[in-house]
Amino acid sequence: MKQFSLSVVLPVGDAPAALAATVAECLALGAQQLADLEIIIVEAGGDPGVATLADRLAATHSSVAVLRYARRRGYRQGLYDAWGVARGAYVAALDLAGPAAAAGLARLLATAPEHAAIFGYREPAPRHPAARLFAAAVGARVAPGLRDPALGLALFRADLRDLLAPEGPDAMAHAEIFAAARRRGLAVAQVAVPGKAGRAAPSLAAIGAALSHGGADEGQARRGATVGAGMLIAACGVWLLRRWRRL
């Protein structure tokens, strides 16, 4: 993999501890396996501690750059903008707010030579009802076949930025890229990677966005969130009942 140049995009709002650890893992990966590494921290005007840490990392490491917004932006916008200035042949997208770990990047890179887009998934699949409902909704409405839409770890060929629309729900960004790549007939792979323990399941807003994807107005999005709430309550009830029966 030494022939690869990679740009890692890290949109970050308020997770300074996760940012420092992730940058360290990416730097170690670059030293061992990459011809060139660029880390783009997208600082979206959130926690002042994040801005301070991002600046310190950029001052310390020549491969780290900071893309800063005056006001808070979402994950999708940060990924889209950073992708536009990335110099690597491949762009890695890692959502620090999600369950993905930078350690999974090496497994995605190993698959890169034969594929235009590679998506990570956790094995075994998460068992939380919200995670299962979100995956089912994304599969039905957006990206059939995407195994772990909540993970937030993927690798894309740098020339495929047009697969991502700059506007839309953050939770749907990777799913939309997966679906667009499939429609275009590109080589797409999914690779098992480690995840972080204890990360929160997809939010009700994310589930609602998946259920209402393609809706014409905000009212439909709200209805999707309402339906998602009902389905989540039902799924949680079934999950708790099964656990109780095992006792």
Confidence of residue 26 (pLDDT cuts 50, 70, 90): very high
pLDDT of residue 69: 87
Work out whether strand 36-43 and strand 117-121 pair parallel, antiparallel, or are unpaired: unpaired
For residue 99, whether the previous peptide bond is cis, meaning omega lies within 30 degrees of 0, is: no
**How do residues 50-100 score in pLDDT, each as one tens digit?**
889 999 999 999 999 999 988 878 899 999 999 999 999 999 999 988 899
The number of residues making up the chain comes to 247
**How do residues 187-212 score in pLDDT, each as one tens digit?**
999 999 988 766 567 888 888 888 88
Please tell me the pTM assigned to this model.
0.85
Question: Which residues are CB-neighbours of 136 under 8 A, at least 6 positions away?
Answer: none
Report yes or no: 124 and 135 within 8 Å, Cβ to Cβ: no
Range in 103-107, 116-120, 129-133 with the lowest mean pLDDT = 129-133
